[in-house]
Amino acid sequence: MRLILDDGTELEGVSFGANRAVRGEVVFNTGMSGYVETLTDPSYRGQILVMTYPSIGNYGVPGDRCAQSIAGPFESSRIQVQGLIVQSYSESFSHHRAQRSLGDWLKSQGIPGICRIDTRFLTRHLREAGTMPGHLLQDCGPHSLASSATAVDMTTEVFRQVAPATTHRYEGGRQTVLLVDVGAKDNIVRSLLDRGVSVLRAPWHADLLSYWPEVDGVLIGNGPGDPANLWELTDQVKEMLRRADKPVFGICLGNQILALAAGAKTFKLPYGHRGLNQPVQDLLTRRSFITSQNHGYAVDNDTLPHGWEPWFVNINDGTNEGIRSRRQPFFGVQFHPEATPGPTDTAYLFDDFVNQL
């Protein structure tokens, strides 16, 4: 199997997943563990994922969960990535919850995987040249077969692929949070239920304002793609902010949608922030945290309107990691306070949100 980037870079490896050709944006994740959670994160929809940690697969994969379940460690009902690239794949696994190998899991869902790739070289190349589209191709086919590789439309179609078909309610307490699902991770639901509130999980393209009378607050979840393509959702969030009578909290893509609704702009990062070790600083308290992140876009601080301010900053590159309104209970963070397997340094943000309902 071969990886061929759009700039002509070609790397050859060994297949350990499904036998099919795919195309997607090639991105890297710096996490040392958590590949089950990462591969099922809907924010990776349409992307070919490079794991920078050299050995992957050693603890296997749990068995499938029941239909409609939101049980961990899975973050959604299926693998979301287009393909997986690792350096050293471990076919043998050892974990008390494991029921199958990573390779068998990939094959069962039609996801190609390639190993024996120099992921250090590949990561350095993506850092210097920026993330870019590429193909995973079988050795038996010429380069011309790249035109038939499966790809995901990364405009509006990708958002509909990761959103639920219908609205679902999870009972957890007297108060109710409307979770706007653009590919929200299941642990966002679990985090809210753990804090004694019910969750009304609705697809982003639903008439969200029709639920306004029955909810106490709104959480806009994470998801894939360019937030500028979600103008329909942004218009609905603008109306929520105009009503100004309930707290609105954005996570990852939700932070960007909140910023667009407020009147700010977003931009694409050269290679994004993806991993479990991203440092951020709270600009109000000056306290620093290690966070889990998965995004390729960021809010432009210079475009935030009057009454809004940056809340968190990425210590590595100075980009925005959160925004807040100075007057109303509207706030968002670019990182994931619900992160599993961790870090959980910023889980307190759910407590702060629930306390404002």
Point out the residues that are catalytic: 252, 336, 338
CA nearest neighbour of 334 among 238, 258, 240: 258
User: How far apart (Å, rounded) are the C-alpha atoms in residues 209 and 211?
Assistant: 5
Cβ neighbours of residue 138 closer than 8 Å, sequence gap 6 or more: 1, 15, 19, 20, 21, 145
Residue the block writes with tokens 């109303």: 328
CA nearest neighbour of 133 among 297, 2, 293, 8: 8
Cβ neighbours of residue 285 closer than 8 Å, sequence gap 6 or more: none
User: How far apart (Å, rounded) are the C-alpha atoms in residues 16 and 21?
Assistant: 13
CA nearest neighbour of 32 among 305, 317, 277: 277
Cβ neighbours of residue 67 closer than 8 Å, sequence gap 6 or more: none
Peptide bond before 341: cis, by omega within 30 degrees of 0? yes
Exposure letters 268-305 (e unless 16+ CB within 10 A, then b)? ebebbbbbbebebebeeeeeebbbbbbbbbbbebeebe
The upper half-sphere exposure of residue 293, i.e. CA atoms within 13 Å in the direction of its Cβ, equals 29
Write the burial class of residue 310 (CB in 10 Å: 0-12 exposed, 13-18 middle, 19+ buried). middle
